[in-house]
Amino acid sequence: MKEQDYLFSEFPPTSKSEWLAKVEKDLKGKPLEELRWHLEENITLEPFYHPEDAGQALPPLQGNRPDNDWEIGEYIDVVDLKRANTELLEGLQGGAEAPLFRLNRKMDVNQMEQLLQGAELSCISINFGEYYTDKEPWELFHRFYALVEKQGADKQKIRGSIDFDPLLDWGRPPIDKLAGLLQFCREKLPLFRPFQVNAHRFHSGPDDTSLELAFTIAKGSEYLARLSEFGLPAQEVNAHMQFSVAISKSYFVEIAKLRALRLLWANVMKAYGTPQAPFLAVHFAKETQDEDPNTNMIRASTQAMSAVIGGADRLYVLPSNHFRQEPGTAFSRRIARNVQHLLKMESHLHRVVDPGAGSFYIEKLTEKLAEQAWKHFQELEKREEFR
């Protein structure tokens, strides 16, 4: 007998039929079918699952990671350089690992140096988003690289990303410039991800999750195809690409969505010879925020849990006052960080390879979403949606 079996030795096993008899009795004549959840037109979930429904146990979704660790992200709005640098150092001191600088104007090397002053670049993940019309991510990247060289940082340890999604932001996508960045990173910054599949525009809530997944992997697949024309193998493209995904308040759906995305992308990569995992940068959907900051602080814990259990590689928690369109305060930023610290230091969710594995409900929901999304993806490929 295995050690864990002793935990249940005093409890007799209960069959599915016995559970159903008890459920039907408690329903007092109400049909069990009325409790089924119709998530989408072709996805129906039962109100009750039993080990007899599980069939053969599925292996945990491990991907390329030895555990479930993730980078603790923090938003930094760059309006005033001095204030942004103060917030950066405050966040790093408080345990942030992956600041995301939301830039509202172009920066030269000197301004970037002022922004990152006091930060050890090889010890954290540096991420940039350009929120202005004349953005040039390739120029931003080279300014950052110039700073890396100036500081003498270890290029083999530099991590980070740029919100560069040519298919989203350009009428004539600069794929050639993206290919140049990838070739440069391959040689100089092997851990840096200079572009991403921004899936936020595909997010419209839990009822259309399979479509969201299909559009997301379809766009990623299109990048693999276009960049292969520049001689870049799919495995190298995947090593320098990330998926930026939004999550809502539907706890189990978001867990299953991220797990399904990992399965789906591994299946796409399998067509190129190696079933590699995607890198998932996860953000809270803005529409999930309430005007009451206290509600947002409570809700943040379950949203963050769904992201972490689903397998996020980097997570950004919105400050609780975001709905009011106010700058994050020292308090709201600290609480956003601490939500993630609690999930690591007290819940130890970073130590378990796949926390959702073995849950019949989550496994079934993951399977249904992945199956439906793959059908949508095949239809999109036939229509050449992103070409």
Q: What is the pLDDT of residues 304-349, one digit of tens each?
A: 999 999 999 999 999 988 877 777 889 999 999 999 999 999 999 9
Average pLDDT over residues 191-212: 94
Residue 370 in this model has a pLDDT that exceeds 90: yes
Class of domain 71-383: alpha beta
3-class secondary-structure state, position 384 = coil
Percent composition of the chain: helix, strand, coil (DSSP 3-state, to 5)? 50, 15, 35
Average pLDDT over residues 233-253: 96
Determine the Cα–Cα distance for residues 243 and 166; give it in Å rounded to an integer. Answer: 14
pLDDT averaged over every residue in the chain: 91
Alpha-carbon radius of gyration of the chain: 22
Residue 264 in this model has a pLDDT that exceeds 90: yes
Determine the Cα–Cα distance for residues 325 and 320; give it in Å rounded to an integer. Answer: 10
Average pLDDT over residues 89-117: 95
pLDDT grade for 6, boundaries at 50, 70 and 90 = low
Q: pLDDT by residue (tens digit) across 61-80? A: 878 788 999 999 999 999 99
Determine the Cα–Cα distance for residues 334 and 246; give it in Å rounded to an integer. Answer: 21
Determine the Cα–Cα distance for residues 244 and 366; give it in Å rounded to an integer. Answer: 19
* 31 token code pair: 């049909």
Report yes or no: 100 and 73 within 8 Å, Cβ to Cβ: yes
3-class secondary-structure state, position 197 = strand
Domain boundaries defined on the chain = 71-383
pLDDT grade for 4, boundaries at 50, 70 and 90 = low
Average pLDDT over residues 204-215: 92
- C-alpha pair distances (Å), 336 with each of 87, 170, 181, 282: 13, 33, 32, 14
Residue 116 in this model has a pLDDT that exceeds 50: yes
pLDDT grade for 351, boundaries at 50, 70 and 90 = very high
pLDDT grade for 232, boundaries at 50, 70 and 90 = very high
Q: What is the pLDDT of residue 1?
A: 47
